[in-house]
Amino acid sequence: MKIQKIGVKMQRRRRSIPTKKIQLNISVWERWWQNFSLTRLIRNIIIAIFSAQVLTAGILLTISAIRDRKKHLHKFPTIELKEVQVGANRLQLYSNGKDLYNAMLEAIDQAEKSIYIESYIWKDDQAGWDFKTHLARKAAEGVEVYVIFDMIGNLVVPRQFKKSFDPAIHLIEYQALGSYQHVIDPRHYALDHRKLLIVDGKTGFIGGYNIGSLYADSWRDTHLRIQGPATTELAHSFVDFWNRFGPRHHPIQHRYQRRFDPLINLHGNDALRLTFPIRDMYIEAINRAEHSIYLSNAYFVPDGSLLDSLKAAAQRGVDVRILVPWKSNHVVADWISHSYFSECLDAGIHILGYRHTMLHAKTCTIDGQWSTVGTANLDRLSSIGNYEINLEIYSSDFAQQMERLFACDTEDVIELRAEDWHHRPWYTKLSEHILAPLRFMM
């Protein structure tokens, strides 16, 4: 009897073991499900992606810093271009910083009534001090001198340098976020990325050059001098900016006569009013192209509409050539721009890498008729973010100058081939995919 009872108990125990296991598994699943949080999962995914981006960017920045220490400054090809007449205006292109700065300082020295100068970056170096000295001299002579520079763009510039402008010079250090209330309004995140000089409302300069010895000696950029009535539009743009963001007790009162010029149009992005005509200007001109599009830009991070326009132009037989720095001063921006190259190459667009130095130009010329020179990069910060200014010029003579400059810049470049680009290393592609989401912030 005892043996039978023991056998029955063992059988019951064997039967109960699976049931207990099932109950245990269900209990574990229920506890996991009770502790599950979709919010926590999404948060962890975001943290993982962000960490991967930070790690990738950190590695690239480290490599870039090591590369820059070993980098030697190289001379880059230049070309002398003559002044051209466009309507009632005379236009002169500059592709060399020293020549440009000499022309700007000469114009400052000849000022009789007013000098308006605006720069995103103003370095504490020889070039920076040269401009300050010349401006102070003219202010002492009674010329009204107005200066604007961006606070964020000059964060690394010593505070003492920014405070040492002559007291006779009217000065704005533009701040993107002027108050705590602006934090919740994205329109107030815009930086002042413009570069302008207007003397007496008669001579104006506009383009990509900031003020600094590095740019004069080592960077390849493009600037434009205008002499004639179109300069007043640049003056109006400066005055409007000053009177909006400058001291209320000291607005600029002088007003220049406005003119309609069918050959030279000014386009300025206005973040506060959410108007961004420069991007639309590019798209409209690209959509009209029949023969050629020669585009130079420091940071190629276009939005979908602009990229589609460029691809469509190439697919209908237009010779589309995009010149970018092969190694720019922002290595992360380089890698983000690389994520667009496959689409471009597959569409028949020529991607050309400028190998000599940092290419900082923001120019384009189309069909030997239409051109633009200005401050706007082809990225989202310039397209729908910062304050920017570009000139749109209808002139075959000026377009010919632009084409000659583009030909000089592309004499010795790295031209990408679709087959080679598609077979780049897997880790390079992975890095580009990790950084790709950052394109919406650049």
State how far the Cα of 278 lies from the Cα of 275, in Å rounded to an integer.
9
Q: What is the mean pLDDT of residues 3-27?
A: 53
Amino acid 60: pLDDT: 47
Q: Could you tell me the residue range of the domain that residue 133 belongs to?
A: 84-298+360-411
Retrieve residue 436's tokens: 């790709």
Q: Tens digit of pLDDT for each residue in 263-310?
A: 999 999 998 888 899 999 999 999 999 999 999 999 999 999 999 999
Q: Tell me if 4 is assigned to some domain.
A: no
- Does residue 326 register a pLDDT over 60? yes
pLDDT band at 8 (very low <50, low <70, confident <90, very high): very low
Pairing of strands 89-94, 84-86: antiparallel
Question: What is the rounded CA–CA span in Å between residue 177 and residue 155?
Answer: 14
CB atoms within 10 A of CB 288: 12
Q: 188: pLDDT confidence band, cut at 50, 70 and 90? A: confident
Q: Give the single-character DSSP code of 270.
A: B
AA letter at 401: Q
Residue 68: pLDDT above 60? no
What is the pTM assigned to this prediction? 0.83
**Domain count within the chain:** 1
At residue 28 the predicted structure's pLDDT band, cuts being 50, 70 and 90, is low
Position 340 confidence tier, pLDDT thresholds 50, 70, 90: confident
59 within a domain of the structure (yes/no) = no
Tokens coding 278: 């420069």
Render pLDDT for 214-227 as a digit per residue (tens, 0 to 9).
999 899 999 999 99
Is the pLDDT at 50 greater than 60, yes or no? no
DSSP secondary structure letters along 291-320: SEEEEEES-B---HHHHHHHHHHHHTT-EE
Instruction: Tell me, yes or no, whether 88 lies in a domain.
Output: yes
DSSP three-state, residue 192: strand
Task: Place 57 in a pLDDT band, splitting at 50, 70 and 90.
Answer: very low
Q: Is the pLDDT of residue 157 over 60?
A: yes
Per-position b or e across 331-340, b if 16+ CB within 10 A of its CB: bbbbbbbbbb
The answer to whether 297 and 377 have CB atoms below 8 angstroms apart is: yes
Q: Is residue 49 part of a domain?
A: no
Contact present, 47 and 367 (Cβ < 8 Å): no
Contact 274, 378 (CB under 8 A): no
pLDDT given for residue 45 in this prediction: 62
Give the domain CATH number at 401.
3.30.870.10
DSSP secondary structure string, 68-135?
HHH-------------EEETTEEEEEE--HHHHHHHHHHHHHT-SSEEEEEES-B-SSHHHHHHHHHH
The pLDDT assigned to 46 comes to: 61
Per-residue pLDDT, 205: 98
The verdict on residue 315 lying in a domain is no
Q: Are strands 170-174 and 144-150 parallel, antiparallel or unpaired?
A: parallel
Q: What integer pLDDT is reported at residue 20 of this predicted model?
A: 53
Least confident of 33-42, 75-84, 140-149, 340-349: 33-42
Q: How far apart are CA 437 and CA 374, in angstroms?
A: 27
403: Cβ contacts below 8 Å, ≥ 6 apart: 294, 365, 368
Residue 210 has pLDDT above 90, yes or no: yes
CA–CA separation, 34 vs 26, rounded Å?
Answer: 12
Determine, yes or no, domain membership for 320. Answer: no
Question: And the tokens for 249?
Answer: 């007790």
**68 belongs to a structural domain:** no
174 within some domain:
yes
pLDDT of residue 105: 98
Higher pLDDT, 31 or 381: 381
Order of strands across the sheet that contains 413-415: 264-268, 389-394, 370-374, 362-366, 292-297, 319-325, 350-354, 413-415
Give residue-wise pLDDT tens across range 344-385.
Answer: 999 999 999 999 999 999 999 999 999 999 999 998 878 888
Q: What is the distance in angstroms between the CA of the first residue and the CA of the last residue of the chain?
A: 86
> What does the chain come to in residues?
442
Residues 6+ apart with CB under 8 A from 60: 331, 332, 335, 431
Chain centroid, CA 62 distance in Å: 22
Asked if residue 106 lies in contact with residue 99, where contact means CB atoms within 8 angstroms, the answer is: no
User: Measuring CA to CA, how many Å separate 104 from each of 126, 199, 225, 347, 357?
Assistant: 15, 9, 9, 41, 23
The answer for 200, left when phi > 0, alpha when psi is -120 to 50, beta otherwise, is left
pLDDT at 43: 65
How many CB atoms neighbour CB 75 within 10 A? 8
Mean predicted confidence (pLDDT) in 241-268: 91
